């Protein structure tokens, strides 16, 4: 799903916050509770890079979408994909030049997904062999997967708004242009057994999410629909709400992402302050930017209300349905600092952490540490920060000044 990119002339980094971890292999791990450890920052100054999104290959190595330089300096574009060895070394066996060769101008890549076969999907506007394409795939070593690119390049006439992989390796792709919503086979050819049939109303796509039963949640600016595996609309889905701005305001409102929990309930993010039931105007739900709906599409008022001031930030959903999210922005000494919160599955805040700079989003969990991509104001590339155990109510992380 899409990320909000902050393109500002400051140093970018990956921030790592420690938390408890589960045992397991080298795949991304997921914490089950508060972290422990000394409040000691560790700086790794041997490389300078920016990070917008990450994924993990089966080896456990991290693949990063961002910028990369050996000489230092600020970054403003995610025009590289690189792979790390440990926390501070670039993997020389991975081709870091590919993306810079095929991205010329236009829509920046903003989403990276590592497939189960270690190949890497990227959206954006690219030029390969003189021809435009909106979706590319890299081989595990970073080189172009030309078979995939040649199959997919003629299927879309607009930029990709969102895409979603299935466990079987199929790819649902949502295009920006009217009704470009397709399912691809693993090799990039179109699966023509999926036909999106809805043609009523305006086309304002935001995102697509996979449900446990193989159906899809399709979020548009105005509404949410459930789509069957053949592309038809599921008429049993009961979502029928009008989202609104705060009272006495004319703020712009929109729906953004749906994050699906194990029981089929979904957390819906966006920019809004209220939902009103279109079938019963007396049913009004005042929720700010984050709300939850039942699996059948009805509103779930048991979800805890959020004080989130960010309607664009995505949710990082854990295997136990708890989640992390960037949620607030405040000024300090003429610069920004942002708040990242950990929630239980029903929205209650478990922990709150203040980060100096602009956070893009929580991008993953690895070895018991929460990774946060963003634009940080201190002059560093990446650091590990271990924090003291926090209470269930909320103990803010103390501000740390790096050496």
Give residue limits of the domains in the chain. Answer: 12-385
**Distance between CA atoms of 391 and 181, rounded to whole angstroms?**
45
The residues with which 69 forms a beta bridge, in sequence order, are: 48
Which residues have C-beta within 8 Å of that of residue 345, sequence separation ≥ 6? 261, 320, 321, 322, 323
pLDDT at 69: 52
Closest CA to 119 of 186, 168, 166, 192: 186
Tokens, residue 308: 């989130």
**Distance between CA atoms of 317 and 311, rounded to whole angstroms?**
17
Question: pTM above the 0.85 mark?
Answer: no
**Distance between CA atoms of 210 and 164, rounded to whole angstroms?**
7
**Distance between CA atoms of 369 and 362, rounded to whole angstroms?**
11
**Distance between CA atoms of 203 and 217, rounded to whole angstroms?**
15
The tens-digit pLDDT sequence of the chain (403 residues) is 433 322 222 333 455 554 433 333 444 433 322 222 222 222 333 344 566 777 889 998 888 887 655 444 444 466 788 888 765 577 889 998 898 889 877 788 888 999 999 999 999 889 999 898 999 999 999 999 999 999 998 888 888 999 999 999 999 999 888 788 999 999 999 999 999 988 766 788 899 999 999 999 999 988 999 999 999 999 999 999 999 887 666 666 889 999 999 999 999 999 899 999 999 999 999 999 999 999 999 999 999 998 887 777 778 888 889 888 888 766 555 566 778 888 999 999 887 777 766 676 676 665 556 667 665 554 333 332 222 222 222 222 222 222 2
Q: What are the φ/ψ torsions at residue 282 (nearest 5 degrees)?
A: -80, -15
Tokens, residue 299: 């509103």
Closest CA to 267 of 318, 228, 229, 231: 318
- Per-residue DSSP letter, 320: T
**Distance between CA atoms of 266 and 65, rounded to whole angstroms?**
27
| CATH H-level, domain 12-385: superfamily | YVTN repeat-like/Quinoprotein amine dehydrogenase (2.130.10.10)
Tokens, residue 228: 């069957």
Whether the CB-CB separation of 116 and 6 falls below 8 Å is answered with no
Could you give the 3-state DSSP secondary structure of residue 238?
coil
**Distance between CA atoms of 15 and 41, rounded to whole angstroms?**
11
């Amino acid at each position: 799903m899409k990320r909000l990119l902050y393109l500002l002339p400051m140093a970018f980094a990956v921030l790592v916050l420690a938390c408890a971890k589960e045992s397991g292999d080298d795949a991304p791990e997921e914490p089950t509770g508060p972290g422990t450890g000394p409040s000691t920052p560790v700086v790794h100054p041997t490389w300078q890079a920016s990070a917008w999104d990450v994924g993990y290959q089966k080896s456990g190595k991290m693949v990063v979408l961002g910028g990369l330089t050996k000489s230092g300096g600020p970054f403003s574009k995610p025009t590289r994909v690189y792979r790390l060895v440990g926390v501070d070394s670039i993997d020389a066996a991975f081709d870091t030049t590919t993306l810079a060769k095929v991205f010329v101008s236009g829509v920046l890549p903003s989403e990276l997904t590592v497939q189960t076969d270690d190949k890497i999907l990227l959206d954006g506007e690219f030029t390969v062999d003189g021809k435009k394409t909106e979706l590319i795939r890299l081989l595990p070593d970073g080189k172009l997967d030309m078979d995939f690119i040649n199959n997919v390049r003629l299927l879309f006439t607009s930029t990709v708004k969102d895409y979603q992989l299935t466990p079987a390796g199929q790819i649902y792709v949502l295009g920006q242009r009217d009704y470009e919503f397709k399912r691809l086979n693993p090799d990039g050819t179109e699966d023509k057994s999926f036909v999106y049939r809805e043609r009523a109303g305006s086309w304002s796509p935001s995102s697509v999410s996979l449900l446990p039963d193989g159906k899809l949640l399709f979020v548009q600016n105005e509404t949410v629909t459930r789509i069957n595996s053949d592309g038809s609309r599921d008429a049993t889905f009961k979502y029928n709400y009008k989202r609104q701005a705060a009272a006495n305001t004319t703020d712009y409102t929109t729906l953004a992402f749906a994050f699906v929990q194990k029981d089929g309930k979904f957390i819906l993010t966006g920019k809004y302050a209220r939902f009103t039931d279109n079938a019963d105007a007396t049913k009004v739900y005042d929720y700010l930017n984050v709300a939850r709906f039942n699996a059948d599409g009805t509103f779930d008022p048991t979800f805890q209300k959020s004080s989130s001031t960010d309607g664009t930030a995505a949710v990082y959903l854990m295997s136990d349905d708890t989640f992390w999210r960037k949620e607030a922005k405040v000024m300090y000494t003429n610069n920004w600092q942002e708040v990242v919160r950990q929630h239980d599955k029903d929205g209650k805040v478990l922990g709150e952490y203040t980060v100096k700079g602009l956070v893009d989003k929580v991008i993953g969990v690895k070895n018991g540490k929460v990774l946060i991509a963003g634009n940080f104001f201190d002059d560093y590339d990446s650091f590990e920060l271990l924090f003291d155990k926090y209470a269930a109510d909320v103990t803010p992380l103390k501000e740390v000044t790096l050496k």
